[in-house]
Amino acid sequence: MRNKLITALFIVYILIFAVGSLVARDRVFSDMENRNLTQFPIVNAKAVLNGTFSEQFEKYMSDQIIAKDFLVKLKVTENLALGEKYINGVYFGKADMLIQEYDNSYNQLSKNLGYVNEFVNANPDLDCSWMIVPNACYIYSDRMPPYAECYNQGEVIGYIIANVSQDIKIVDCSKALMEHKSEYLYYKTDHHWTMHGAYIGYSVLCDALKISPTPEEDYDIELGSDSFYGTQYSNAPTFTQSPDDILLYNNPNGSYKVDYYDKDITMYSLYNMDNLEIKDKYTTYLDGNHPFIKITSNSSNKEKLLVIKDSYAHSLLPLLADNYSEIYVVDLRYYHQSVSELAKSLDISKVLFINNLEFLSTDDNFLWLN
Amino acid sequence: MLFSSITFLFAFLPAILLVYYISPRKLKNTVLMIFSLFFYAWGEPIYVFIMMFSIIIGYVLGLVTDRYMKAGKKKHARAAVICAVSSNLLILIYFKYIGFFVENIMHIIGLKVPEIIIKLPFGIDFSVLSPALPLGISFYTFQILSYSVDVYRGTVKPQRNIISLAAYVTLFPQLIAGPIVRYETVCDELDNRRESIDDFGEGVKRFIVGLGKKVMIANVAGELYSTLSVLSANDNTVLLSWICSIAYTLQIYFDFSGYSDMAVGLGRMFGFHFLENFNYPYISKSITEFWRRWHISLSTWFRDYVYIPLGGNRNGKWKTIRNIFVVWLLTGFWHGAEWNFIIWGLYYFVLLMIEKNGLLKKLEKAPKLIQHIYALFFINIGWVIFSYDNMSSLKHAFANMFGMGGLPFINQKTLFYLVTYGMFLIIACVGTTPLPKKIGEAVIRENGKTKATLGTLAQLLFLFAVLMISTAFLASDAFNPFLYFRF
């Protein structure tokens, strides 16, 4: 009797997955994992004989299995239940924090530093500042799992200050963030900072640029979403993870226009509210990644600003928009033309770099700067 | 195709079960053979022809050997069997060892290994002096060899049906990672077997347990090992290098025995009864005992086809030592064409000789705990030798473990790994003992009707959970290596 039941269980189990995966329509993209899924591979004699067909087919099978999202969660939950605290590059910290790992080898960082120095030296007329933002593993070090180590980002900032050109002003907001470290500065499930974290960065930046920040209480703070699961969650999803809030800071006196040149779109808001409905809700801020955009506001300051940034800037620039009537924003990952020429043609004299340390230590697109 | 893959579980296996069970009795071996050839060709689309060639040699020369034996022409029969054995051995030696020999000879002469490439159709390059190793060649060659020799010895009748013989050699459950199933074990079942739901259920249990061992334990231990073995000197500690070696010791046991469990289980689903390949090797109290419990099909193969034909222990002390030496040299070399495998084999030769000459008797008087620690220590050291095919990394690993690598004993990273993997390591260690099986048996023991129902329920739930979590690991593209590509 027992063996009959066991046989039945097994047969039904493999048939459900076999038939289910066969019948279910193939997915192109996994929202949860935030990546493209393998499609049915091309069959030809060469691919079969050199083994690439079977290799691709096995990837296709495991990518297109039914209930894949559930299975991925089950796996990570099992790891977690056995006490693992570091899964797929994600630390499972206290208070439900999924903290991005940071392991600096100074290799890429020193290259990037060289590119920035070269840019500054080649453009002596430009007034350059560089805002450096530490990551959650540094500011929230007391939320890291027991004994987990993260390379000391204070040391890395010291290295940057010691090696950077004299002609660029470093804006280090780590001290201010540290003072607020019990607050909601970084997302639990995403590698970015929250808009509140960005506000603290913004006030430090305003001090350095000698402009006056909008007081935090002057904003209407709107809860855009309370169900944001970010990139860290995509890397290590579980059944038990609580989601994040997306906060939108609205200045009742501001009016804005954003030109997204790559898509030829103009929006009259700093936030793309449609993106609150998709998986990656962080793209609500300035519509996520674009090579080159222009933010125009009703600010009384007519000085033009050129910003060269990574995605940490997306939640900071909506605040800075109240201090500059024209901000041009370049993302070197996608903008591969001369930045000096751009500054010249736009008649710009003020340049601001905004980077988080993890990006600065790993990204290899700074070479496009020169 | 690994057994531990989505493709095997939800495409190959349902397909072969369906076709096999609806086929008439006469065609069942043909179905097994065709699916097994497909299974092999999936990973080795070219080399499948070499395996077929080996089978044909074994088949034809098996019949020839038998005919001469029956005609009383023993010398002719001997010639036929020598021909069968040497041609299959030559194929094995060429594909597995030619690269190793050429490289070492050239190194001694001081020349570079010349690259000779034959361009095959469809853009496939074949390197003559360092051919890629055909999957599972050591396993299936040893099976064909045992068949040829057993026909000559008269312990088995020759197989007259080439499909039955091909079905035996290619039988996918044992094809790529063993166990080495002897022809005599399955010859009756090849032509007369009765599948039953009881066998099938037992097979399913073994298969799921094996799958869980491979996917949930071996792969996790393997991932830990592969992280720790490349740790930089700044991060590494003496304790971490020990944890690293223990992770490998756990990985190779759970991987290999998990594979054997899956093979035995799959065999039973089709009505075959293979012999056990592992018997809780890590509860051994001596190295001698360890080798009675580890990869049993390999050690008995070497005993029956190398040690005993060389004369075994019947020709005096020195010849016995020589025979044991040859067996361990070959055992080591069988695991891969690298020096560390030879060293690993000879390491066991030395240990076994020491045990044989008095240590074993002394050990038996020691407390059991000491015996276990002794055996596990040397088994673990053995796996360190096994795991590094690069001599300088091997030296480095030993230096680190024995405090000569200039490493601290412990650091914060060590504590982190202990905290995150501590529970897993404890569970895995317990899993190497018969304890989980005993607990399982106690739970499902049938006494009284209600208890039996609960036991069944518990068993079904357990099997379902292991199957589901294993599927989850596979669907997540988790670390899932194949360790036997050198064998």
Tokens representing residue A47 in the block = 């691919």
Q: Three-state SS for A246?
A: strand
Whole-angstrom Cα distance, residue A244 to residue A234? Answer: 13
Percent of chain B predicted with pLDDT > 70: 98
pLDDT at residue B423 above 70? yes
Judge whether A193 and A244 are in contact, CB under 8 Å.
Answer: no
- A46 touching B, CB under 8 A? yes
**pLDDT for residue B240:** 95
Taking CB atoms and an 8 Å cutoff, what residues of chain B touch A83?
A: 419-424
Q: Which of A363, A365, A357 is nearest to A160 (CA)?
A: A357
Q: Which CB contacts under 8 angstroms, 24+ apart, belong to A202-206?
A: A202/A316, A202/A319, A202/A320, A203/A176, A204/A171, A204/A172, A204/A173, A204/A176, A205/A131, A205/A171, A205/A173, A205/A316, A205/A320, A205/A352, A206/A323
Judged against a pLDDT cut of 80, whether residue B487 lies above it is answered with no
Q: How far apart, in Å, do the first and last CA atoms of chain A sit? A: 75
Least confident residue range of A38-42, B55-59, B144-148? A38-42
A305 bridge partner residues: A327
Give yes or no for residue A216 having a pLDDT over 70. Answer: yes
pLDDT above 80: residue A309: yes
Return phi, psi of residue A150, to 5°: -130, 140
Distance of CA B116 to the CA centre of its chain: 32
Q: What is the mean pLDDT of chain A?
A: 92
Confidence of residue B463 (pLDDT cuts 50, 70, 90): very high
A4 contacts B416? CB cut-off 8 A: no
b/e B54-89 (16+ beta carbons within 10 angstroms → b): bbebbbebbbbbbebbeeeeeeebeebbebbbebbe
CA distance A28 to chain B (A): 16
- State residue B119's pLDDT score: 83
Task: Provide the 3-class DSSP secondary structure of residue B163.
Answer: helix
Q: Six-digit token pair at B397?
A: 């690993």
- The phi-psi region of residue B192 (left if phi > 0; otherwise alpha if psi is between -120 and 50; otherwise beta) is beta
**Residues paired with A351 in a beta bridge:** A128, A306
Q: Contact B467/A13, CB-based, under 8 Å?
A: yes
Q: Which of B76, B107, B295, B335 is catalytic?
A: B335
- The chain B residue lying nearest A21, using CA atoms, is B10
Residue A57 to residue B7, Cβ atoms within 8 A: yes
Selected residues 49-108 of chain A with any CB under 8 Å from a CB in chain B: 49-51, 54, 57-58, 61-62, 65, 68, 71-72, 74-76, 78-79, 82-86
Residues 131-190 of chain A with CB under 8 A from chain B are 145-149
Model confidence at B50, in pLDDT bands (50, 70, 90)?
very high
CB contact under 8 A, A6 and B416: no
Residue B60 tokens read as 């034809």
Beta strands in A207-344 (DSSP E): 220-228, 244-250, 256-260, 265-267, 292-297, 304-309, 326-330
| Distance of alpha carbon A214 from alpha carbon A125, whole angstroms | 29
Q: How confident is the model at residue A49 (pLDDT cuts 50, 70, 90)?
A: confident
Q: Do B204 and A10 touch (CB under 8 A)?
A: yes
Secondary structure of A248-281 in the HEC alphabet? EEECCCCCEEEEECCCCEEECCCECHHHHHCCCH
State the Cα angle at A238 between A232 and A244, rounded to 5°: 50
Residues of chain B contacting residue A58, judged by C-beta atoms under 8 Å apart: 1, 5-7
Q: What pLDDT is stored for residue A46 in this prediction?
A: 80
Q: What is the band of B451 on the pLDDT scale with cuts at 50, 70, 90?
A: low
C-alpha distance from B24 to closest chain A C-alpha (Å): 21
Q: Does A215 touch chain B (CB under 8 A)?
A: no
Residue B481's pLDDT is 79
* Neighboring chain A residues of B21 at a CB cutoff of 8 Å: none
For the cut 70, the answer to whether the pLDDT of residue A350 exceeds it is yes
Amino acid identity of residue B63, one-letter, is: L
Confidence of residue B415 (pLDDT cuts 50, 70, 90): very high
Contacts of A2 (CB under 8 A, 6+ apart): B201, B444, B456, B459
Kind and range of the H or E run holding B405: none
Pairing of strands A220-228, A244-250: antiparallel
* HSE (side-chain half, CA atoms, 13 Å) at B188: 5
Task: Judge whether A17 is closer than 8 Å to chain B, CB to CB.
Answer: yes
Give the span between the Cα atoms of B218 and A86, in whole angstroms: 18
Interface of A with B in 304-323 (CB under 8 A): none
Q: Is the pLDDT of residue B262 over 80?
A: yes
pLDDT, position B447: 65
Q: Could you confirm whether B335 is annotated as catalytic? A: yes
Residue B67 tokens, joined: 């005919």
Q: How many other CB atoms are there within 10 angstroms of residue B108's CB atom?
A: 8
Give A-chain residues touching B451 at CB under 8 angstroms.
Answer: none
Q: How much is the pLDDT for A256? A: 95
Q: Do strands A304-309 and A326-330 pair parallel, antiparallel, or not at all (unpaired)?
A: parallel
Residue with tokens 């046991």: B253
Question: Which residues are CB-contacts of A325 (< 8 A; sequence separation ≥ 6)?
Answer: A296, A297, A298, A299, A300, A301, A302, A303
pLDDT at A41: 87
Run of H or E including A312: none
Residue range B371-403, pLDDT digits in tens: 999 999 999 999 999 999 888 999 999 999 998
Q: How much of chain A, in percent, has pLDDT values that exceed 70?
A: 100
Residue spans per domain, chain B: 6-193, 200-431
Mutation for testing the A interface, residue in B3, B4, B9, B10 having most A CBs under 10 Å: B10
Residue found under tokens 């080649």 = A122
- Asked whether the beta carbons of residue A17 and residue B460 sit closer than 8 angstroms, the reply is no
Q: Count interface pairs A-B at CB distance under 8 A.
A: 142
Instruction: Tell which of A2, A57, A85 to mutate to test the B interface (max B CBs under 10 Å).
Output: A2
Average pLDDT estimate for B135-149? 93
> Do B205 and A51 make contact, defined as CB atoms within 8 angstroms?
no
Q: E-strand spans in chain A?
A: 29-30, 35-36, 86-87, 90-92, 98-100, 127-133, 168-172, 220-228, 244-250, 256-260, 265-267, 292-297, 304-309, 326-330, 350-356
Out of A48-52, A179-183, B301-305, B382-386, which region has the weakest mean confidence (pLDDT)? A48-52
Q: Would you call A278 an interface residue with chain B, using a CB distance cutoff of 8 Å? A: no
Mean pLDDT of all residues in A53-77: 90
Mean pLDDT of A196-219: 94
- Region of residue A335 (left: phi > 0; alpha: psi -120 to 50; beta: else): beta
Higher pLDDT pick, B360 / A288: A288
A333: nearest Cα among A363, A362, A370, A288: A363
Residue of chain A whose alpha carbon sits nearest to that of B420: A84
- Say if residue B26 is exposed, middle or buried (CB neighbours under 10 Å; 0-12, 13-18, 19+): exposed
**Do A86 and B420 make contact, defined as CB atoms within 8 angstroms?**
yes
pLDDT value at residue A192: 96
Chain A residues within 8 A of B135 when measuring between CB atoms: none
Band (pLDDT 50/70/90 cuts) for residue A26 is confident
* Rounded Cα gap, residues B247 and B401, in angstroms: 14
Which residues touch A91 (CB under 8 Å, ≥6 apart)?
A85, A98, A99, A100, A101, A137, A144, A145, A148, A150
Mean pLDDT computed over A18-34: 84
**In chain A, which residues have their Cβ closer than 8 Å to the Cβ of B477?**
62
Chain A residue with minimal CA distance to B47? A49
- DSSP single-letter state for residue B356: I
Q: Is the pLDDT of residue B237 over 90?
A: yes
Interface with chain B: mutation pick from A1, A4, A5, A10, highest number of B CBs within 10 Å: A10
Q: What angle do CA B172, B173, B178 make, to 5 degrees?
A: 105
Q: Which residue of B has its CA nearest to A83?
A: B420
Q: Is the pLDDT of residue B468 over 90?
A: yes
Q: Which range has the worst mean pLDDT, A224-233, B89-98, B112-121, B134-143?
A: B112-121
Instruction: Report the 10 Å Cβ neighbour count for A347.
Output: 7
Does the pLDDT at position B364 exceed 90?
no
**A76 contacts in chain B (CB < 8 Å):** 476
Distance (Å) from the alpha carbon of B152 to chain A's nearest alpha carbon: 38
* pLDDT for residue B445 is more than 80: no
- Inter-chain touch B198–A85, beta carbons under 8 Å: no
| Helical (H) or strand (E) element with A359 | helix A357-362
